[in-house]
Each structure stands twice: as C-alpha cells, then as structure tokens.
Structure 1
Amino acid sequence: MKRFLKNVIITIVPVIFLSACVAPTLVTKESEFPGMYIEKPKSLLIMPPINLSTAADAKDYYSTTVEMPVAFQGYYTLPYEITSEVLKQQGVYDSELVYDMPLNKFYEYFGADAVLFTKIKKWDTSYVVVSSSLTVSIDAEIKSTKTSQVLWKYNGTVIVDLSGGNGGGLVGLLASAIVTAINTASADYTTYARQANGRFVGTIPVGPYHPMYLKDQQDKIIQQ
C-alpha cells in the first residue's frame, strides 16, 4: 500500500508542477481578430451592460467606466447617456433584448459600424471575518452592425485581496478582522472595474483616430 501511494505521488507531483508552469499562449491581434481589420469599424455604439452578477447596482456603476478607455483606442464612441436614453425610448431597456438579434438597425439609427456589448460576470466580495477578496470580471465583445458577427471578444478580471494581514495572537487576530471589515466596506468597485477594463481594452485593434491604426496587426496578446 505504501509503495502504491508513493508511486501515485511521484506520478501526480510532476503533473501539478508542469500545469503550474504552463506559459500563456501569445497570438497576434490580426490572427485572433481578423474581422476587425477586414471591416475596419470607425464608430462604436456602447450598449448598457448586461448584469449577470448578484449585485443589483453593478450595471449603473460599471456603465460609467467604459466609454473613455474605448475612445482612447481610436474609435468614435457615440455618447453613452444619449444613446442609452434613445434606446429606452425605443423600448430597449436591457441589452439582453437585442444581443441575439440582427444589429443592422443600429447602423440605420445611429450610424454605428459596430456595437460593444459588456457582460458583468462577477461584481462581488467574498468575506470571512479575517479574509476578504473582491472580484470584478467583465466579458466584452464587439459585434458588426453589417453582419452581426463577433469581431472581437475578451475578458477582464481583477481579484483584490482585502484581508487585513495575519497578526499574531488574539489582539492581532482582532486587528486583522477590523482592518478586513474596513477594507471591505470601503472598497470602490468602479476603481477595480476600470482596472478590469484595462485588461481587455488594450487587446482591441486600434481605430482610425489612433496613431497606430492598421499598424498593430502583429502586436502580441494573451489568447483567451
């Protein structure tokens, strides 16, 4: 029995070690998102976020963080507040209603070459007295208004440790619990949402208002 367990351990340990050391796969923007270079969209309509998290207010907070970083990538982004209001007047209160529908109407109504959808996958805090972590995870994708096909998609996830440290003894444990509680209560989700945006925005092939337009095809990104 001991010999059997020894053999199992010897077999498993290298597998675990190799799995932990697997390097991320790097690909070029052009090979991963060829549609962006074929269609060359200039203007983007940013849809209201689709909230798949358990936080009811995540949609309102996150919607304030998207427009500017996308615009800095060289695209004309239709003003979010105005387009959101127009969509509501047309009865589109939730992006889920149009996500799987043909998107040609968005070109007719707004002149948008493509539509940016974002999905809030996680917007929550895991809290256990002396240990706490915050997670913001966003799926984003750009769809063509001509073909309704996905031209680009990526995920941005940020996990933040809000724990108060590991103090020694009962006093240290109490202090750690207090710091953890304060960090959790004061956590600014929008700050971390912007960080999550930063994880995916840089992978978007830049638009016509960026100096690197049509020069970033060979830029390397992590394949997802």
Structure 2
Amino acid sequence: MFDFSRLKWLPALAVAALLAACAGPAKQQVDYTALRAARPHTIVVLPPLNETSDVNATNGMLSQMTMPLAEAGYYVLPVAEVAETFKQNGLTTAADIQDVSPAKLRKIFGADAALYTKVTQYGSVYQVVDANTFVTASAKLVGLANGDVLWEGKGSASGKELGNYGVNGGLITSLVQAAVKQVAHTLSDESWAVAGLTSRKLLSAGQPNGLLYGPRSPKFGTD
C-alpha cells in the first residue's frame, strides 16, 4: 500500500531540483600551470585597447593598473618611461603597441611578462531615475620568453560601489537627483575612480581566478 505521508516531501524535492537546474555548471577555474612555471618577476603594462566611445578610457585605466600589480608582489616598469620609449620608436596608439611581438618587448624592456588589457565599458550612463558610472575591462598576462598566455581575467565595477549613491523621494525628486549626478560625474570624472576599483578586482592577487602572488610578496608561493 502506498505511503501517502511521503507526499509531503514532494514540494521540497521539487524546489531542490529547480535550484539545481538554475545553478548550472560550476564556474570554471583559471589554470595556473603556465603562470607557476614562468614565475614572472617584472611586468610591462601596455596601454589598454579602447573599445568604448570615451577617449579617456585608455589613460584612465592605465593610470590605475600599476598599484594592484605592485601590491600583488610584481615589479612593474614605470608607465611614463614605457610610454616615452614607445613614443621614441614611433608607437603612439594602444593598437600599434599591442601588436609589437613579445620577443621585441622583451628585448626593449627586459621584462618577463606583458599585460595586455581591453576596456569594453567606461563612463557614466544616464537612466530615467538614476545615473551610474561603469568600467569593465579584460586582461591577459603574456610571457615574453615564448609568447604563452600565463593568465586571463575580467573585472567590472560601478560607481554605486563607491558609496556615493542613493535615490530617495518621489519621481520628480529622483529625476532631479539623476540629472545632478550626471553633471557631477562629468565634472569630477568619476570614471577614473571606478577604473581604480575595476583594476583592483581584475589584478589583485589572492582572489578567486585572480593573479597569483608575485616574487616580491611575502605570500609568494602560498596560493
């Protein structure tokens, strides 16, 4: 005879099955084999490719990437000196610079690896009752000895993560606040600060799928 008391478990089982289906496959982890084998000490950061409509995206992102790499334990060649070297060799655009072969970069700078970056979102977005600033970028670390990709990652941040937002009141108030925010973003160039947060998410060591700690870090070899 069927035990009807078991029916009480069916809703819970159905919910569990639905959650499992929605969860999907686990996020693939980064393969650190090549990075551990290469053990880069010195990194040259190349100007990011700009795939946005904001002309400030390349310099805005470039100015923020040295710090998280240095804090991770790598020696980063001074960005200004690298830019001047490229300029003296007739290379002034990010696209031309990123087309230089790894072997040539190694010969010029003596670095172990180069960081190639692409900015796909940069700047403020005006919405009906709000305004926000977004910066999204992807990067890959390439070994200059053989051109192998040692690591790849992606980072994104918004102005709301800086803690400067909060829309309250009715519709008219919200519209006014959104307009004020848009002007404030333009005057203060909030994208630069958001680019700093994106750089930390993208390049800081010790986070899931992030870079490993470099040789100058006391945590080197522990991750």
Normalised TM-score (structure 1): 0.78
What pairs with 1:1-224 in structure 2 (closer than 5 Å)?
Answer: 21-22=23-24, 25=27, 27=29, 32-161=31-160, 165=167, 167=169, 172-187=170-185, 188-201=190-203, 202=205, 203-216=210-223
Cα deviation 1:82-120 (Å, max 9, x = unaligned): 111111111121232243553111111111000011111
Cα distance in 2 between the residues matched to 1:74 and 1:17? 40
Q: Which amino acid aligns with 2:195?
A: A
User: Counterpart of 1:181 in 2: which secondary structure?
Assistant: helix
Q: In the superposition, relative to structure 1, how do residues 110 and 101 fare at CA in structure 2: closer, same or farther (>3 Å)? A: closer
Q: In the superposition, relative to structure 1, how do residues 16 and 127 fare at CA in structure 2: closer, same or farther (>3 Å)? A: farther
Unmatched 5+ stretches in structure 1: 1-12, 217-224
Cα distance in 2 between the residues matched to 1:46 and 1:151? 14
Shift of 1:20: 5.2
Shift of 1:214: 1.6
Cα distance in 2 between the residues matched to 1:48 and 1:100? 11
Cα distance in 2 between the residues matched to 1:166 and 1:112? 51
Cα distance in 2 between the residues matched to 1:100 and 1:194? 25
How many aligned residue pairs are there?
A: 197
Cα distance in 1 between the residues matched to 2:22 and 2:200? 25
CA RMSD of aligned residues (A): 2.5
Cα deviation 1:145-184 (Å, max 9, x = unaligned): 11112111100011345875252xxxx2221112112222
Q: Which amino acid aligns with 1:174?
A: I
Q: In the superposition, relative to structure 1, how do residues 80 and 38 fare at CA in structure 2: closer, same or farther (>3 Å)? A: same
Q: Which amino acid aligns with 1:200?
A: L
Q: Which amino acid aligns with 2:199?
A: N
Q: Which amino acid aligns with 2:109?
A: F
User: Counterpart of 2:36 in 1: which secondary structure?
Assistant: helix
Cα distance in 2 between the residues matched to 1:140 and 1:125? 22
Q: Which amino acid aligns with 2:183?
A: A
Normalised TM-score (structure 2): 0.78
- Asked if the contact 1:164–1:180 (Cα under 8 Å) also holds between the matched residues in 2, the reply is no
Cα distance in 2 between the residues matched to 1:179 and 1:21? 37
Which protein has the bigger strand share?
A: 1
Q: Which amino acid aligns with 2:214?
A: G
Shift of 1:25: 2.6
